[in-house]
Structure 1
Amino acid sequence: MLSSSPSRAALVGSALLCSALVLSGCSFFGRSAPKPAELGPNIPVIPVAQAWHAKMGKAANIVLDVHVNGNTVALASDSGEVLVLDARTGADIWRMNVGEPLSAGVGTDGRWSAVVSRGNQLITIEGGREIWRKSLPVQVFTAPLVAGNRVFVLAADRSVYAFDAASGQRLWTQQRPGESLILRQQGVLLPVGNTLVTGLAGRLIGFNPDDGSIRWEAPLASPRGTNDVERLVEIVGRTSRIGDNLCARAFQASVGCIDANRGAVIWTQTAKGSEGIDGDDKNLYGVESNGSVIAWKRSDGSRVWSSNRLLYRELTAPLVLGRSVVIGDSTGNVHMLSREDAAPLNRLTTDKSGIAAAPVAAADTLVVVTHDGGIFGFRPE
């Protein structure tokens, strides 16, 4: 059975297009970026302090997914650094360099860790030592999934690969027709019971992880528009899962929830965001591309609240943590908003280079990573 452990976006085609998070400010749209909303003074309602600070190489060009496994976090840098830290202290458990720049990482099950290089090499590590690498025929921007003694890869052309984690033997491949444009962004690749769930072209798809056969497909969005950019539809990470209820975002199109046991769509709602979502048993939380923060009811998708406090700040996907929704921004601030009404609860600062990936929580510690490679651990006082 597969284990069940719970980026900046850019469009990639024949040439790199502008950041999907700042489409309204791109030069080919003929407008300058709007001015971010003023934040005002920080009044800490929940007292939080920096507990530790660690450092790695820059994380400005890798599509980084900070992976939590128990009390540890796994990270990777642009230059090929891969490391596992103790979230209680920020100390290295192990750190190594794979010898070439990375495009995506990191996935781990606590034993094996996997990353993908810009040269399309899938590299698997055990205990800080490389054990094998395999060439892939296409770029990868989604961190590999390590689960059930296998390494799964979602490639940019919507192909899915499964490898034996110990030996590197390829077990199966599933190929879907490609599109002229793809997202340089974390996609969806996760285990739900004994089903491998991926996001492909606006659909969540459940695969049999043993042979790659498709068990179900659940559409969250369909291509629309008259050109390749307008018709681009992808499912983006992160997702929110409670039992068989799995909720996700389709890039610039919708958010929605499905029954992952049957592959049945429960609801979808129009939403214009490019980052993933998080949620609790009552609500889902997400950021729109203009910086609006929205909460939807998990049961039916109706809107609970919307906040414009963080407009035009290039926000990360949110993290639900305690009574807060935690969101990073492009200036290195980390915002803690109330799950009840989006009221500000605290604002944390890092090194001002911008938050490189969605925040995570491990060992009662909030962990955030910046583009300059700063790794910050925060805890309640």
Structure 2
Amino acid sequence: MVLFRKLSLVLATLMVVACASDPTSREPANLTDFDAEKKLKEAWSFSLGDGQAEAFHRLTPVIDGDEIFVASSNGKMAALNKSSGKAIWKKSLDLRISGGIGVSGTMLFVGTSDGEVVGLDRLTGGIIWTTPVNSEVLSAPQSDGDVVVAQTYSGEVHGFSATDGKELWRYTSQLPRLTLRGTSTPKIVSGVVMVGFANGRVVAFDIENGAVRWEQRVAVPKGSTEIERLVDVDGRLLVMEDGQTVIATGYQGQVMAIDIGSGRPLWAKETSSYVGATSALGNIYVVAADGSVNALDGNGQGARWTQTVLARRELTEPVAFEGAIGVGDFEGYLHMLAQVDGRLLARTRVDSDGLRAPMTADGDLLYVYGNSGELVAYKLKDR
């Protein structure tokens, strides 16, 4: 990896702190006392490998059916019952996993730091095929059952046969000299796969042949320095319930609603974010680069509320759960905010090594994967 072309998350974090909205403070906000209205109760936990390790990955567990699949950077994988946390199988593979996990049908998919996309048997975790690519894969490969799509850190998108890993098509984007460490996870909707790029664009492809359907710019480079001109679209794309609209977030750019069929922007709001958004109660919830949590009107008509008490705490992508919005921070605390007004409802510490990966809500359980490899399922209860 050429260091002058790529920016590690450590340096990115320092830059994010330097760009915080409060020019008098560069330190993460101290945690404040509050009257907790809810409590987070652990339902079960499971420890796996070394988690995210020190490579600043965002390995994210994935749920399909009654199972939740999880992977660690040092090649350990497991399938668990999502309700009980009981292991269905565990596997230790000779892989340095950096992007994962995708799931479709009877297959699982991961990407590696060594530049590989790997297809595995869902029932056992055994490797079925391995296909090399030109650089590490930092987000989970995604599949519609026939085609697997993966983005590399070098800005390429590949389409592979889900059956044997044979490359079907490839797209190469033009990368800036400097980017944040991370890539967008491909999002598949009705034969179209959408991908965010480090050049500030979202591009939609025909999943069968890689033909470009449309592209839309979410962030425009500004300023005189390479850092000022960072415009990565690294956060996960959010497809709304109508299946026709996707929400994209850009660093030093905008939160934008895009029509999936045409690529036409429906609305946009200036907000810098390097993580994805979530939706609930007709709102779009966005964590800004300065650490503020924002509730935007789902029609783009303005902001409902902004909570700044967690400023500069390197927050995760938000998750909607049981009338609350959950975010994790660099010290491993999980914070729950009220969806209606952003007030703090509950807090617990999950992992002293911190939280980085997006969380997953399913039914009455919230799944949180700590940096050290601890996967914890929580329920949110009244006090």
Asked if the contact 2:287/2:317 (under 8 Å) is kept, the reply is yes
Partner letter of residue 37 of structure 1?
A: N
Partner letter of residue 86 of structure 1?
A: N
Matching of residues 329-348 of structure 1 within 5 Å: 329-348=329-348
Q: Secondary structure at the match of 1:299?
A: coil
Q: Secondary structure at the match of 2:340?
A: coil
CA RMSD of aligned residues (A): 2.1
Aligned mates of 1:167, 1:300 — CA distance in 2 = 43
**Distance change >3 Å, CA 80–CA 159, structure 1 → 2:** same
Partner of 2:356: 356
Matching of residues 54-133 of structure 1 within 5 Å: 54-58=46-50, 59-60=52-53, 61=55, 62-126=57-121, 127=123, 128-133=125-130
Q: Secondary structure at the match of 1:68?
A: strand
**Distance change >3 Å, CA 258–CA 186, structure 1 → 2:** same
Per-residue CA deviations over 1:194-214 (Å, capped at 9, x if unaligned) read 211111222221111110001
Q: Secondary structure at the match of 2:227?
A: helix
Asked if the contact 1:239/1:276 (under 8 Å) is kept, the reply is yes
Per-residue CA deviations over 1:115-139 (Å, capped at 9, x if unaligned) read 1121112111112110010111122
Partner of 2:135: 138
Partner of 1:207: 205
Using the TM superposition, name which of 178-187 and 242-251 deviates more: 178-187
Match of 1:40 among 24, 29, 33: 33
Partner of 2:225: 227
Q: Secondary structure at the match of 1:23?
A: helix
Per-residue CA deviations over 1:147-177 (Å, capped at 9, x if unaligned) read 2322111112221111111111111111222
Q: Secondary structure at the match of 2:237?
A: strand
What residue ranges of structure 1 are gaps of 5+ in the alignment? 1-10
**Distance change >3 Å, CA 266–CA 12, structure 1 → 2:** farther
Partner letter of residue 30 of structure 2?
A: A
Per-residue CA deviations over 1:237-289 (Å, capped at 9, x if unaligned) read 22322221211101232111111122110111111222211112611111122
Partner of 2:155: 158
What residue ranges of structure 2 are gaps of 5+ in the alignment? 19-23
Offset of residue 363 of structure 1: 4.5
Aligned mates of 1:131, 1:218 — CA distance in 2 = 36
Q: 4+ runs of 1 displaced by more than 6 Å?
A: none
Per-residue CA deviations over 1:324-377 (Å, capped at 9, x if unaligned) read 111111111111101110011211221322113111013431000111111101
Aligned mates of 2:194, 2:236 — CA distance in 1 = 13
**Distance change >3 Å, CA 159–CA 90, structure 1 → 2:** same
Q: Secondary structure at the match of 2:13?
A: helix
Match of 1:189 among 186, 190, 196: 186
Matching of residues 235-314 of structure 1 within 5 Å: 235-242=233-240, 243=242, 244-280=244-280, 282-314=282-314
Partner letter of residue 74 of structure 1?
A: F
Aligned mates of 2:134, 2:44 — CA distance in 1 = 40
Aligned mates of 1:78, 1:57 — CA distance in 2 = 8
Aligned mates of 1:267, 1:89 — CA distance in 2 = 42
Alignment size in residue pairs: 366
Aligned mates of 2:60, 2:352 — CA distance in 1 = 20
Identity %: 26
Aligned mates of 2:16, 2:201 — CA distance in 1 = 26
Asked if the contact 1:12/1:182 (under 8 Å) is kept, the reply is no
Partner of 1:321: 321
Per-residue CA deviations over 1:277-320 (Å, capped at 9, x if unaligned) read 11126111111222211111110251111111212221101001
Aligned mates of 1:86, 1:301 — CA distance in 2 = 41
